Amino acid sequence: MQRSLLNALSADNSQLPPDPLDKLSLVTSATPELAVPQKVFTHFMDYFMAAISQNHPQVVLSIKTYMFDQAHKLGITAKTLNNLRLWLSADGQSFLIQNLNLEQMQGIFHIAYVGGCEFLGPVTSDRLVADTIRLVEELPEASEFSPRTFL
């Protein structure tokens, strides 16, 4: 076994046999199809956080920290909380936040909004929410599930 390991470590990639787990990793790493409310939530939160990041980069980290600090109060599983942490640390990946019910999605948005109000003021936060709603309402999924449901 040690010889096989040393040969594998020193061999060129083209000389190695195909990875038997390669097909499995494609299946497990693929983004699962989300239900319409989760798709709308994904776009809603990505656009909202992108607007904060683009227009107010000096406070986006404070808002994200506030969101994570408050999210445990929503009854979210540990795995989903970890996914929320991953999303907050990397822009534009809220597809990681799955298995949320409507109340939890509303709670996450509410926490983001309150954080926005605290760090940007209510007028700026309201404007960013209104801009986000306008963008998300243009998506095909919004005809089935209104982003205003998260308010």
Full DSSP string of 34-85: PPHHHHHHHHHHHHHHHHHHHH-TTTHHHHHHHHHHHHGGG---HHHHHHHH
Distance in angstroms (rounded) separating the CA atoms of residues 125 and 137: 18
Distance in angstroms (rounded) separating the CA atoms of residues 73 and 13: 48
CB 95 within 8 A of CB 43: no
Residue range 14-28, pLDDT digits in tens: 666 665 544 433 333
pLDDT in the model for residue 13: 63
Phi and psi at 29, nearest 5°, equal -90, -10
Residue range 54-105, pLDDT digits in tens: 989 899 999 999 999 998 888 888 888 888 888 888 765 666 567 788 898 8
Grouping H, G, I as helix, E, B as strand and the rest as coil, residue 119 is helix
